[in-house]
A and B are shown apart, each in its own frame.
Chain A
C-alpha cells in the first residue's frame, strides 16, 4: 500500500485500512468482495465487507469522490434519506507506484432494495406507482432544501419497505448540486429528467418482458409529475381565506401531518383591512409519525410503519387505558407487552427477511385477513404462528439485496469522442 494513501472518513473505522486499495477495484480478491454483480455503470461500483457491514465502493476521480462525499454528508445532516457516506480515498497507487482512481465508500442500507429487486416475475402497475410516489416524496424533500439532483431515476434510488408503501433513498449524488434555493426552472428540469428516465427504465423492463402488460410506461412515468406537484403545492403553496375561517390554519397543519410532515414555521399575513388571511408553510419537516413514535417508544422506523404502529398503540391505549393522560407510560407498556414479544418470537434464521416494524405491519394485515376469513377475532399470538409459517418463511432475505447485474447502462465518464466523428 502506498505510504501517501489518503482516507477521509466520517467514521474512525480502522477496517478501512485493510481493504486492498493498492489494487484496481475490478481485480479485488473474492474475500474482500461481498457480491459480484457488477453492472456496467458510469463508474465501477462493487460491494465489500467492512467491519461486519457491507459498503459500496465506487471508483471515480478524486475531485468527484470528494464532492459527492461532501454532498452526501450535507444531505445526511439535513435528514434527507440517502446512503451513508463512509469515506473517500485518494492518492491510491498500485505496488509499482502507478496511480489508481480515487474511491468513494458508502454504507449499504440494510433492507434497502433496488427497484429491479421488487418483483419476482414482472413489475406490477401498483408497485410501479408506489415506487414513483416514494420517489416523488424524496424529490420534493430534496428540492425543499435546495438540492438539484440532475439524474433522477429509479436506478439512482434505493427503496425500503414502508408498511405497504415504499420509502426512497438517494444513492447517487454525483450530478447533484446544493443551492440556497432552487428556481422553478431547476425543479422543472429535475422533474423532466425524472419523467424521461423512469419512462426509459419501464420501457426497458417492458422490452425484457419484465413489466406487467397492464402497465403503460409513459402513463406511469407521467405519474411522478402529478405526485410531485400535489405534494409540492401542499407543502409550499399559499392559501388565502376569510379571517373568519381561521380553522383553515389548523386544517392545513392536519393535512400536512397526514402526509407525514410537521410545520416548523408558518407565515401568516392579513391584508390591510384584516378581512383576509394568507398562510404559507415556510419550514416543513418530514417524519411527523416517525418522530412521535421515536419519542414515545425509542423505535426508529419509516414514516408509514410509524403510522401503523401508532395506530396499534392508540387502539391499545383506548382498550386498556381509556382516559390515561400519560401517553409515554402506555407506550412503554405497549412496547413491552405487544411489540417486543412479537419481534422476539421471530426465529433467528428469519430475522433477515424483513425489518421488525415491517414484520409487525404485515402481521397486523395477516391477522385482519385471518379474522375476516374465519369470522372471529384471531389473537395476535395465533396470527403470529400462522404468519411465520405461511408467509415469512417463504420470503427471501431482504437485509442485503444487491443490484442485479443488468442495471441501466450509464456512460463511462471517459468520453472517447474519437469514435464520434
Chain B
C-alpha cells in the first residue's frame, strides 16, 4: 500500500510552449480511490501517464510512498494498469494464468502459490484454480484476469477511462462494482474519466483539471457544495448549475425584481460591480407571481417524483438558459411565464474577472 504524491509535476510536450500538466500538486492517500476528471485536453490522462512512467516529467517529482519514481521505468514502479488487455491462456490452469507473471519475475514457487490463493479467495475463484479458462464463465474469466493484476501486489492501480467503450447501462452497473472491488482490496487507485457523474459516484475524492491545471480537489460533496471557481461549478453536477451575471444592489445582488442578500464585505472583494451567480437546479424556487427573475418555460421533463423545468430569460441582452427542479406532479407547463428566486442559503457567487468564488459555501 502506498500514497501517491505529485510534487509540482509538469509535463511540456516537445514543440509546445503550453504545459499539458502544469505544476500539479496532489496527494492521494493510502488506499484512497481518487478520480481525476476534466474535459478533453485537461491533462488528466497525461497526469496518469506521468504516474505510470509513460510520460516524462519535465519539472517536479512524483512519489509512490516515500520513493521518488520520477525517472523510474514503468515496470519498477509497483503499479498495475488495470483493464489492460490481459490474455488468458487456454492450456494453463486458472492458477497458472494468475501466477505466471510472478514466475517470470522470479518469485519463488511457495510465494507464488500463496499469493495466487489469496487473490483467488478475494475474487471467489478458489474452487476453479485447477481448471482451464475454457471451463469458466465470462465473468469468471474476467476475474482471473483481474487476479493477474492483484497477485503482483501493486502499490497503486491505475485506470484510464476503463468504461468508455461500454454502453450506458453497463457503464452504470460496472462503475459501482469497480468501486466496491477497490474498497475490498484497499489498494490506492487513480482513475481517470471525462464523465463527472462517474467521478461523483466512484471517487473518495475528485481532482478536477482544466487546461493542465488542477482546479480543485475534494470529496464529491465538497465539489458539489463549494466549487472554488466558475469552471468547477459548471462542470460538476447534472443538470449543470445555472450560471449568469448579476449586478450588485444595495445589500446584495439584483435578481430580477428581487435583491438576493449578500454581505457587503463579500461584494467588496469582487472586481467591478458585477458577479456571476450560481444556483443549482434544486435551489431554484419557482413561483407564478411575486418577486423574482421572469422565465419563459420551454420544456418540462417529468421524471416521476421530480421534474426538470427548462426555460430561458434575458440578462444584459443575452439569452440565458435556466434549469429548475420542480414537483413531478404539480408544475408549470411549456409556454408559461414564471418567476424564479434562489434558495438564499445556497447561492454561489464568483468573480466575473477571475472566476474565483467570492462567498463562503454553506454546508447542510
Contacts and interface: CB of A to CB of B under 8 A. Distances in A.
Contacts of B89: 200-201, 203-204, 207, 408-409
B166 A415 contact: yes
Interface in B145-204: 145-146, 162, 165-166, 170, 173-174, 177-178, 180-181, 184
Contacts of B13: 180
A181 to B, nearest CB: 6
B55 A415 contact: no
Nearest to A413: B165
B139 A420 contact: yes
A38 to B, nearest CB: 14
Interface in A384-421: 406, 408-421
A308 interface: no
Interface stretch (A118-126, A150-158, A161-169, A241-249): A150-158
A32 interface: no
B52 interface: yes
Nearest to A208: B91
B142 A420 contact: yes
Nearest to A151: B85
A409 B73 CA distance: 28
B123 interface: yes
Interface in A282-303: none
A199 B102 CA distance: 11
A61 B91 contact: no
Contacts of A63: 165
Interface string A156-195: 0000000000000000000100001101111011001101
A35 B15 CA distance: 49
A207 B96 contact: yes
A42 interface: yes
A311 to B, nearest CB: 40
Contacts of A183: 54-56
Contacts of A186: 54-55
Given A208-B91, A409-B133, A416 B142 contact: yes
B101 A196 contact: yes
A205 B140 CA distance: 23
B104 interface: yes
A181 B101 CA distance: 29
Interface string A135-157: 00000000000001011010100
A197 interface: yes
A218 interface: yes
A175 B85 contact: yes
Interface in A29-55: 42
A8 to B, nearest CB: 20
Given A195-B104, A218-B103, A411 B86 contact: yes
A221 interface: yes
A185 B73 CA distance: 6
Interface residues of A, number: 49
Contacts of B174: 415-418
B92 interface: yes
Contact of B177 (A151, A188, A203, A417): A417
A380 interface: no
A296 B181 CA distance: 63
Contacts of B137: 419
B100 interface: yes
Contact of A185 (B56, B84, B93, B181): B56
A203 B134 CA distance: 17
A360 B47 CA distance: 53
Interface centre among B89, B137, B177, B180 (most CB of A within 10 A): B89
B142 A415 contact: yes
A1 interface: no
B85 A189 contact: no
B312 interface: no
B269 interface: no
A419 B143 contact: yes
Contacts of B100: 199-200, 203
A64 interface: yes
A406 B90 contact: yes
Given A420-B123, A420-B177, A421-B181, A155 B87 contact: yes
Interface string B295-311: 00000000000000000
Given A195-B104, A409-B90, A419 B96 contact: no
B91 A419 contact: no
A151 B84 CA distance: 8
B141 interface: yes
Contacts of B317: none
A204 B91 contact: yes
Nearest to B93: A207
Contacts of A42: 85
Contacts of B127: none
Nearest to B180: A421
B255 to A, nearest CB: 44
A406 B134 CA distance: 10
A295 B291 CA distance: 86
A232 to B, nearest CB: 14
A153 B88 CA distance: 13
Given A189-B53, A192-B74, A195-B104, 18 more contacts: A153-B87, A155-B87, A192-B73, A193-B84, A199-B100, A203-B96, A203-B103, A204-B90, A204-B91, A204-B92, A207-B91, A207-B96, A210-B91, A409-B90, A415-B83, A415-B166, A416-B142, A417-B178
Which A-B residue pairs are the 5 nearest by beta carbons? A419-B139, A204-B89, A208-B91, A417-B177, A207-B91
Interface of A: 42, 61, 63-64, 148, 150-151, 153, 155, 175, 180-181, 183-186, 188-189, 192-193, 195-197, 199-201, 203-205, 207-208, 210, 218, 221, 406, 408-421
7 contacts: A189-B74, A406-B91, A409-B133, A410-B85, A411-B142, A415-B142, A419-B139
